[in-house]
Amino acid sequence: MPAMRWGSARTPSGAGRESVAADSESDLFSAAKDGDRRALGRLLSLVESGQPAALRLAASVIPPRSDDGSSSATVFGITGPPGVGKSCLVDHIATAWSEAGRSVSVLCVDPSSSLSGGALLADRMRMTESGASDAVHVRSMATRGVSGGLAARIHAMVAVLLACGRDRLIIETVGAGQAELGIATLADRIILVEGPDRGDSIQAEKAGISELCDLIVVNKSDLPGAEQAADSLRSAASLDSNPPPVVLVSARTGAGLDDLMASLQELPRRADATHARARLRLLAALESSALSDARFEELVESMAAGDISAAEAARMLGQEGSS
């Protein structure tokens, strides 16, 4: 069968190029680096599906990121409970960066069914501005059972996107609240989004993502209770030695968005969260190693049949790595 020839693609600057026929992962990678959006999409699909050659390519590329978190391609994590307007806020941020000449990619993670593995992937439907722009690359993906509010193989997909020259990458996690710590393993900066109607002031005081985030955004500032929610969050954050700033915005009216973009431009990382983030990265690496083991599903089946316990399965997965 003849090789598929991709159509023309546009770079964020608007310059187009005719895509070359791409059969191998290296061909797709070269085309993606040259601005071919379809090649980038296909390469990411191969990585997400676990295609071995694509995963090896992702492991071999070195993103242009320095140890202190500053880089020419900065990864921003947007997290928070359901219904606070994360997708609408991501839409505005991505649009503003693209209009400023940045090459922007957005990874939207939606929860998937524990039974079927399927997901609605509705985040992209709410991104009406950036989702329709040729300058912004938006991709939706499902968690597929991975904990922490992220998706399987998202680390490899981030590596590919950075290696392809994207200089702003936004990851929107599922709305799982304080326990959603997976984003700390990926993001250079973490933005926690809250709303005025969350109704539980104690939630802000719980240990979790609020201890790791670099900025707290109270969205829907045009609604009653927004100022009270911001005050509650500031009070809870003040217990830390280096509390994150709290800003109010309205994705619906646009109020506060200019101040938010200015804050993101010079947003420092919380130094007191470095050890916790390193610990989470190690745990994520262990989880990824287990999921990539060819015996994983077989061991799950054995557990479901009652043949082995979870502890026995974990020991069997760890035997190969220690040998």
Average pLDDT of span 196-200: 65
User: Can you say how many angstroms the Cα of residue 247 is from the centroid of all Cα atoms in its chain?
Assistant: 21
> Is residue 14 very low, low, confident or very high in pLDDT (cuts 50, 70, 90)?
very low
Q: How far apart are CA 70 and CA 74, in angstroms?
A: 7
Q: What is the maximum alpha-carbon separation in the chain?
A: 64
Which tokens hold the place of 286?
């262990």
Average pLDDT of span 141-150: 61
pLDDT attached to residue 203 = 53
> Is the sign of the CA dihedral 236, 280, 64, 100 positive or negative?
negative
> Is residue 292 very low, low, confident or very high in pLDDT (cuts 50, 70, 90)?
confident
179 and 208 Cβ atoms separated by less than 8 Å:
yes
Residue 18's CB: how many other CB atoms inside 10 A? 10
Domains of the chain: 9-60 (no CATH), 74-271 (3.40.50.300), 276-322 (no CATH)
- Higher local confidence (pLDDT), 66 or 247: 247
Range with lowest mean pLDDT among 14-23, 30-39, 197-206:
14-23
pLDDT attached to residue 105 = 94
Tell me the pLDDT of the chain averaged across its residues.
77
pLDDT attached to residue 278 = 82
Whether pLDDT at 80 is above 80: yes
* Residue 203 phi, psi (nearest 5): -55, -35
6 and 36 Cβ atoms separated by less than 8 Å:
yes
